[in-house]
A and B are shown apart, each in its own frame.
Chain A
Amino acid sequence: MPAITLRDILINARQETVQMRHFYIGVEHLFIALLQIQGGLAGSILQSQGLTPDYVIEAIRRKAGRGTPQRLWVGIPYTPRAELVLDIAKEFALETGHEEAGERELLRAILEEGDNLATRTLRMLGTDLESLAQAARVYTSTTEAQPPDLAVIFGANFDRAETIEREHLFILRRMFASYPSIRVERRLTGFRKALILVVTPIQADEREAASVVAKIDLADNILDEVQRYEQHVKSALPLQAARLEDPPTAPEVSELAGIKYTLVASSGITPEDLRTRVRDRGADGLGRLLKQELYIRFCKNWWHQNRLFRFQVWMEYDWLLPPILTLDAVEEAEPPANACILHIPFNRARVKTRLKELEFGDTVILENFVVQRVDYQANVLKLAIGYGDEADKRAYKVEVRGLNLSKDHFYRGEVIERLVGRVWKTRHDVLVEAALALHPDFDLRSRWIPTGKSRVLNPLLIYDDLLDRHINGSQSKIHGDLHLGNVLIGPSGSMWLIDFGHTRDGHTLFDWATFEVSLLGDAVMPGLDESWESARLVLQHILFLNTRTPVKSADSRISAAMEAVEAVRDIVEECLTDETRWDEYYIALGLCALRAITWDTMSLGGRRLMFLLAGLMALEVNHAALVPDTLTPSPDEDVALSPGASTPKTDVIDDMTPGSQGRLDIDSPRHRGFNQQSNEPDL
């Protein structure tokens, strides 16, 4: 066996410290490096004491804890203690007539120092350090084989173009460690960065176990999902459901973690997600399946658990929309006396007025906002007014750029007493930018948006008022992210829900508004081109749905998908708090649609439809507010709505709501420079 040089060991130690995100070499890294040498001295001695090297490595890593991605110093320095140990090792080498310390000398030095993290861990594990040191002086090692890894094979449905990163494979292997091999059947499509796979474990006798859905994501997200599952989902699932039966796999050495959803069904079924199904085989029969397989099965413990719930719309929906402000952090010198201070508790009416007055470059002071997320990649700190499950605590999102996140450290859930920044963008700027990206063929500043034969309200001018409304609605357990990618469907049409990362008690109709947006974007729009004409065509069909007219004559390219949307409306009708008050749903749908115009995962055609849909819903809500509660609104009463109405009239917004909500700085919302001149509408 070739002699192991100190250099080899230091290379191992360096890899170890980078993997653990420590970025320094301590005695623990040197010791782990020794243990990682195949058939090495340190590993052999431990084994003679009844400990496997892997077990000891795990214990040391757990004790040390994993570091964070940001680095606070340059290079990979040695700790003072590691330098001491290397000096001792050198002494040992000189004593035995060697130029340089090797495996044995380093091991002896670590045991001799005796006060380091490695030896403290060994002591904790009940090891006799004295006899280890004794053995280290005299032991002659024998080589031995490592056990083979779990084999991962890929099934016929797995897209070869997809690769699974090493870190994800590591977690996957850990999750299925009790099987000799697994077959990855397919990857499920999701919007977020999580990796979701359908996996068939294969037993030693080559029998296949039932497929499961494996989800791998950042450990924080996975643990959050498990907690929500335990709290909201576990006790409320129907017999046939995706369940979390095993604890999450969250090794200390990785920032990723994994969970397995077991699909309680006969084995041999590999489900696919609804988005893939619709993409590959269309939406035929989907409406019936939604009602029978999804709604009827889950409603008893979920959407039918409704309790009366009166809320102001912002409490449930503000967090959906883009951040109210994006700020550039400034050094806390002397903020101007007239700086806008946002603090908790909030007075919504006052804050709304203040926010409307804010201009690019204005100073804003945030007090007692809570860190929701630290995005190191984008160097953005995401804050909101609170922390927890409830939607209203996640409202009033503010994003702060330009902080040195690697220097001033922030933690999820931390309350920031005070933070000063200048306005870079308002929510309004973000929405206007998103609307401009749709290349509108109409005037984005006008109050009315033409939709062919009729017209809808401009959602950009009205959403803030929608957030002020009070809704007599209901609250139930909701999935929180009910889109086509989170519904699995088996060959016989059975459906399962997965991904409970947003499950909470919330507005009952939110799930169905989310689902309708997903259906329109993923099932209806792909049948058409991306033009405004196509978006208006779909809007006309939705207008019929609003009057609860059955979709008889829908365009053949989209009729199956529109039937599925109609099924969603049937479900909504059952969930309405007052079956004559559809505005409870329309307001949810309108805000879900408005948020979707900012999604880069949605097609251009889809986002165009979402813009018009948000406007239509705003109109419907306004309309409903005009009629007494006892009357059922009939769309024919509204000239603007009824098909065949006179050509749309284009009002200019000055006569509408006063204040800057009506101000649309379309020309240069983000590159205005620091000039503080007034931004009156340039109309």
Chain B
Amino acid sequence: MILRLEITLMSGVDDGLHFNHSTENGDGQLDDQRWTISIGRREDSDICLRHDIYVSRQHALIYWDGHRWWLQDCNSTNGTFIESRGADERVSGTIPINPGELFRVGRTWMRIEPTE
């Protein structure tokens, strides 16, 4: 099965930028259990946010476990957040995330685009 992930940045200097990843192209980390896409300031991150200084070198992971998408904060300095009733709520550990839901890594808002 081919997995695809499209992420759109929703704020910052790269607001509106799309990242397209797919297992077909060998993006991310694929093993028996899951397909993982890394987010961080490091150049080798799958989603490299070099323009946001509030993003840690290795900040967060998004992975597909065969059933749904998960968002995991990698003990980042400035945190990963989701929008919850108008306020930003800090993510600790791993939470489920749905396409269309906004989440924030450092200062950068982003979301998973729904795919068919």
Contact = CB atoms under 8 A, between A and B. Distances in A.
B15 A117 contact: yes
A79 B13 contact: yes
Given A65-B107, A72-B53, A73-B51, A79 B86 contact: no
A22 B53 CA distance: 12
A26 B77 contact: no
A68 B14 contact: no
Contacts of A116: 15
Contact of B10 (A24, A115, A124): A115
Interface in A357-411: 409, 411
B16 interface: yes
Interface in A62-118: 64-65, 68, 70, 72-73, 77, 79-84, 115-117
B95 interface: no
B17 interface: yes
Given A22-B13, A411-B77, 7 more contacts: A23-B13, A24-B12, A72-B13, A73-B51, A80-B15, A82-B15, A120-B102
A80 B17 contact: yes
B50 A124 contact: no
A533 interface: no
A23 B13 CA distance: 8
B11 interface: yes
Nearest to B55: A409
Contacts of B15: 26-27, 79-82, 116-117
A70 to B, nearest CB: 8
Interface of B: 10-17, 50-51, 53, 77-78, 86, 102, 107, 109
Interface string A119-131: 0100010000000
B14 A79 contact: yes
A64 B11 CA distance: 8
A24 B17 CA distance: 14
Contacts of A411: 77-78
B23 to A, nearest CB: 26
Contact of B12 (A70, A79, A124): A79
A414 interface: yes
Contact of B11 (A72, A117, A124): A117
Contacts of A83: 16
A22 B13 CA distance: 8
A83 B16 CA distance: 9
A118 to B, nearest CB: 11
Contacts of A115: 10
B40 to A, nearest CB: 13
A112 to B, nearest CB: 14
Interface string A403-431: 00000010100100000000000000000
A86 to B, nearest CB: 12
A73 B11 contact: no
Interface in A117-150: 117, 120, 124
B42 to A, nearest CB: 12
A68 B16 contact: no
B74 to A, nearest CB: 15
A409 B107 CA distance: 14
Given A80-B15, A84-B16, A68 B53 contact: yes
B16 A81 contact: yes
B93 to A, nearest CB: 21
B14 A117 contact: no
